[in-house]
Amino acid sequence: MGTRDVILDAAASVLRTRGLANSTTKEIARAAGYSEATLYKHFRDKIDLMVAVLHERGQQFIPMLQTLPDRAGTGTVRDTLTELAAVAIGFYRDGFPMFASIFSDPAILNAHRDQLRTQNLGPHRANDSLADYLRAEQRLGRIAPDADLEAIAGLLLGACFQLAFISHFSQRRADLESAAAFVSQLRL
């Protein structure tokens, strides 16, 4: 495992435990076993590091979203949505300490928005990717022609966010079983 990966793993652990506002690059570097200077060779700042953690250590949520439209016509729609829901719930649950820090400080929020904008990323991309997948499935006749795909995408991901919030708040892990139960209730 390379230096960058070790730093990302340490940052994921520290940020998920302490949040962005309560973590320092010095603390993250120490947890990784490197100097702070080494951390800055790989990441511009703490925001850049956090975005990398969310993108690269995010329970495969972002990679899954990036390939989701290509999965149309394979497996069942319900199985794909169940898998996405389980991954999304884990991503949101693990991200809450970072999300809370982001939204608690306008300067951090603006820096985060700018960082995402430069990388053509953002929370809306999840909805877009899911809607693209659903549109492809609709073209294949596997989803009703009159289904409101943007609404389904927003409702599914919004519900995953809420389930993750409840899971994080109650300190009980939402698992694949709870995701499957939720998705089984969707009308496609």
**Percent with pLDDT over 90 in the chain:** 41
- What pLDDT, on the 0 to 100 scale, is given for residue 138? 97
Task: Name all domains of the chain by residue range, CATH numbers in brackets.
Answer: 1-44 (1.10.10.60), 58-184 (1.10.357)
Per-residue exposure over 95-123, b if at least 16 CB sit within 10 Å of its own CB, e if not: bbbbbebbeeeeebeebbeebbeeeeeee
Per-residue pLDDT for 40 more than 70? yes
Q: How many CB atoms lie within 10 A of CB 169?
A: 10
Q: What is the pLDDT of residues 128-164, one digit of tens each?
A: 999 999 999 999 999 999 999 999 999 999 988 988 8
pLDDT category, 176, cuts 50, 70, 90?
Answer: low
Calculate the alpha carbon distances from 36 to 29, 46, 84, 105 in Å: 5, 11, 36, 24
20 alpha carbon, distance to own chain's centre: 16
- For residue 174, give every residue at least 6 positions away whose Cβ sits within 8 Å of its Cβ, in sequence order, or none: 89, 90, 93, 163, 164, 166, 167
pTM of this prediction exceeds 0.85: no
Q: How many CB atoms lie within 10 A of CB 21?
A: 14
- For residue 180, give every residue at least 6 positions away whose Cβ sits within 8 Å of its Cβ, in sequence order, or none: 82, 85, 86
Per-residue pLDDT for 55 more than 80? no
Q: What is the pLDDT of residues 67-81, one digit of tens each?
A: 999 999 999 999 999
183, 85 Cβ separation under 8 angstroms: yes
Q: What is the pLDDT of residues 93-107, one digit of tens each?
A: 888 888 887 788 887
Mean residue pLDDT of the chain comes to 86
**Percent with pLDDT over 70 in the chain:** 91
Rounded average pLDDT over 19-35? 90
- What pLDDT, on the 0 to 100 scale, is given for residue 157? 94
Q: What's phi and psi for 60, nearest 5 deg? A: 65, 15
Tell me the angle at which helices 46-56 and 106-118 cross, rounded to the nearest 10 degrees.
60
pLDDT category, 173, cuts 50, 70, 90?
Answer: low
